Structures are given as C-alpha cells and as structure tokens.
C-alpha cells in the first residue's frame, strides 16, 4: 500500500488508537456521464494558457498571458477575481499550499514574452497570496520560463521547480524562503515538469530534443531519459498506476510510460496538436487539451473514450477538482475557460486527525488521497516517530 493511502486509512481507523477523527464522505458516483461543457468568459485579450486548482479556496488560478494577470475562479460559484502580476507573459501556474506554514499561494511563471513563439527574455515567478488575492513576491529565474511543479516534502519547506525554455535549464526555488538556490541544465527547450514523490524524481519534457528527462538523486544530478517523442510538452502522472502520460505536440499523439522502467507503454493518436494534459484519479482517465479546440479523454490502456469540444486554441487543462468533479480547460484563442464535468459530481471529503496526548507535535499538513474511489483531504498532525509527510 502506498504511503498516502496508508495515511488516509489511518485517519479512518485511529479512533481507538488515541486519536480523534472528524469527517464525512460522499459516496462514489457511477461511471462518468459527460455533461455539456460550461464556459466562463474572461476579459477580452486574456489569452489564458494554464491553470491549477487550489484545495484551500476550492478555486482555479488561470494564467492570463495577454493581460499580465491571473484570474482566480471559484470552482463552485464560477466568479472571477483578477490579480495584476505587473510583468509580461504569465504562462504556467502551480498551487503551493502548506498547512504547517500557513502558505496558500499560486506561483505563476512569467516568460517576459509577448507571444508564444518567443522565449528568450528574462523570466520571473510571481507569487500570489490566495487569501488576499494579492501579489507578494517576484523571483527572477531563467529565460522564457513555462511550467512549474511543486515538491512538498523535498528539502526544508518544500521546493518549486521552474522550467526555462529559453535558457535550457530548471530553476530550483525554496518554497518557504522564495529564493532560487540552484539551476539544473536540461537538453533543449524544456516545457513541462512533474515531480514524482514515490521515486523522488523530476520529470522534464524537452520539446526540441524529443525526450523526457528524469532527474533525481540528493543533488538532482542523476540523469536518464526516454526518447521516441516528437515535441513532448506536458507530463501528467497516475500515482496508483505508477504511470506518466505525455502530450506529443508535433505528432498528435498521447503516450504513456512506466515511471519504473521508463519505457513507453502505448501511444494513441488524438489528432491536431495536444498540449496540456492531466490525469483524473476519480475516473482513472487521461485528459489531453488540443489547440484544435477540444479535449480528448483516454483510458489508462490508451483507448480513446470521447472527445469534448471546448473553445479556440485550447492549450491547458487541469485534472482535477475533486470537491466539485470538474476539470478546467484554458482556451487561449477565445479568452475563456471551459468547465468539464468528470461525471462524479465531486467526491471531496475532509478528515481532521488530531492527536490526543501526543508528547511532541512537529507540524501538520494537508494530504490528498484516493481511497475506495473517494478523494480525502486529510489534515494530519505529525508527532515524533511519524515524520514522513506527503502532499498530492
């Protein structure tokens, strides 16, 4: 059993072991029945690129590349709050939330570019406080930064990785001190990244070299790669299946590879040019955004399940919001975003685990887990002897 599932099951079973547990669960919904997509308009010229879901506020944060801003969209009410980022070219978004430190933030990469075809300008990361909806930090990184990924338990206070397409490297930033402390070279035009907690490995998709790099080790110096792609852009991951999924922009394929053997398992044509990709744990399905204006839904065996129309030039997609059962697609060409129901109706539950009579409490964290098809948000207080933390 994976550690995160063990924590969630512990939350259900520890009543008789000296802990108090408060919580509830929604029953798992039947198999997906895809509803009509729901579109939320953004300001004219927004040109949304990518988004991420924030579990603290139950909101999506969208990078609006045309307005130098971020849109914070409440997942339940669909209301939009604009946050000015003061720079140019917002691109990728990553949620950074930490119950122990009180962080509730979205980190937005700012490429400094005025179009998608240029990525050679000095880049920044803008940190947005999602409690106050305000800009709090601006961190210099490399040239033309695109996607970001957050490693909650890596190094003290967590770590944020930023891939810089223009300078062929990854900037490593302390999530708690907002300081860039390392730069890791890649091959050519890195676009996407993902950090796998189980294998302590950073996956980086290198668009121009047609491969996915795997960077690990204590000092992030252990290298391997998987070739055989044609313009890989974004990487998604299934923790339960130990499988990663890659959108292959130039070939029009979505591919899967094992995060153990790192061999390609299957490749399926979805047509057009797939860019963003996400994995929905509640339905065990892959969602690939396509600039042709649709989202392809695939099974974990590579079968094409359905195609969902969205907007113009759909680039990003986030999978998934377990509280409301929606995914969000970013339509760059039509200045809007599309909510797509995964058919579950939301499976989010919150369990609060409080130690009774523990001698030393060393911190706490919010842990997301899928147990029995239900998404659990577990607020865990860690005591001496149980220091491992895990964040999904």
pLDDT tens over the chain, length 392 residues: 333 333 333 333 232 333 333 333 333 344 444 456 899 999 999 999 999 999 888 899 999 999 889 999 998 889 999 998 877 788 999 999 876 678 899 999 987 655 555 666 789 999 999 999 999 999 999 999 999 999 987 887 889 999 999 999 999 999 999 999 999 999 899 999 999 888 888 999 999 999 999 888 766 766 777 878 999 999 999 988 889 999 999 999 999 998 888 889 999 999 999 999 999 988 999 999 999 999 999 999 999 999 999 999 999 998 678 888 889 999 999 999 999 988 887 766 544 343 333 333 333 344 444 444 444 444 443 333 322 222 33
Give the CA count within 13 Å in the CB-facing half-sphere of 103. Answer: 27
CATH architecture for the domain at 38-341? 7 Propeller (2.130)
- Beta bridge partners of residue 69, listed in sequence order: 64, 84
Q: Pinpoint the residues of the chain covered by CATH 2.130.10.10.
A: 38-341
Strand order in the sheet with 326-331: 38-41, 336-341, 326-331, 314-321
CA distances from 381 to 100, 294, 351, 356 (A): 9, 42, 12, 10
The pLDDT of residue 99: 66
Closest CA to 314 of 278, 266, 349: 278
Residue with tokens 């929606």: 326
């Amino acid at each position: 059993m994976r550690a995160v599932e063990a924590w969630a099951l512990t939350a259900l079973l520890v009543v008789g072991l000296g802990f108090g547990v408060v919580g509830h669960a929604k029953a798992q919904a039947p198999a997906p029945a895809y509803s009509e997509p729901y579109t939320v308009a953004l300001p004219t010229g927004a040109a949304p690129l990518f988004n991420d879901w924030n579990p603290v506020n139950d909101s999506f944060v969208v990078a609006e590349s045309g307005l130098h801003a971020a849109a914070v969209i409440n997942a339940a009410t669909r209301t939009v709050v604009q946050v000015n980022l003061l720079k140019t070219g917002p691109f990728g978004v990553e949620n950074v939330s930490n119950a122990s430190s009180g962080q509730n933030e979205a980190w937005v990469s700012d490429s400094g570019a005025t179009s998608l075809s240029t990525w050679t300008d000095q880049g920044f990361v803008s940190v947005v406080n999602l409690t106050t909806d305000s800009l709090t930090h601006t961190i210099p990184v490399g040239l033309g930064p695109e996607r970001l990924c957050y490693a909650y338990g890596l190094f003290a206070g967590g770590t944020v990785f930023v891939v810089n397409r223009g300078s062929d490297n990854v900037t490593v930033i302390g999530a708690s001190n907002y300081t860039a402390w390392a730069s890791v070279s890649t091959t050519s035009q890195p676009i996407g990244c993902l950090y796998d907690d189980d294998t302590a490995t950073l996956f980086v998709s290198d668009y121009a070299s047609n491969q996915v790099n795997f960077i690990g080790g204590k000092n992030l110096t252990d290298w391997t790669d998987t070739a055989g792609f044609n313009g890989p852009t974004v990487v998604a991951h299934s923790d339960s299946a130990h499988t990663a999924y890659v959108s292959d922009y130039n070939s029009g394929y979505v591919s899967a590879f094992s995060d153990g053997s790192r061999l390609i398992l299957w490749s399926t044509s979805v047509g057009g040019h797939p860019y963003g990709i996400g994995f929905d744990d509640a339905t065990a399905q892959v969602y690939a955004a396509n600039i042709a204006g649709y989202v392809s839904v695939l099974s974990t065996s590579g079968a094409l399940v359905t195609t969902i129309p969205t907007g113009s030039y759909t680039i990003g997609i986030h999978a998934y919001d377990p509280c409301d059962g929606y995914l969000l697609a970013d339509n760059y060409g039509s200045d809007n975003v599309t909510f797509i129901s995964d058919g579950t109706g939301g499976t989010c539950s919150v369990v609060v685990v409080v130690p009774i009579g523990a001698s030393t409490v060393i911190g706490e964290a919010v842990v997301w887990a899928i147990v029995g098809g239900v998404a659990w948000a577990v607020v865990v207080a860690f005591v001496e002897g149980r220091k491992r933390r895990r964040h999904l």
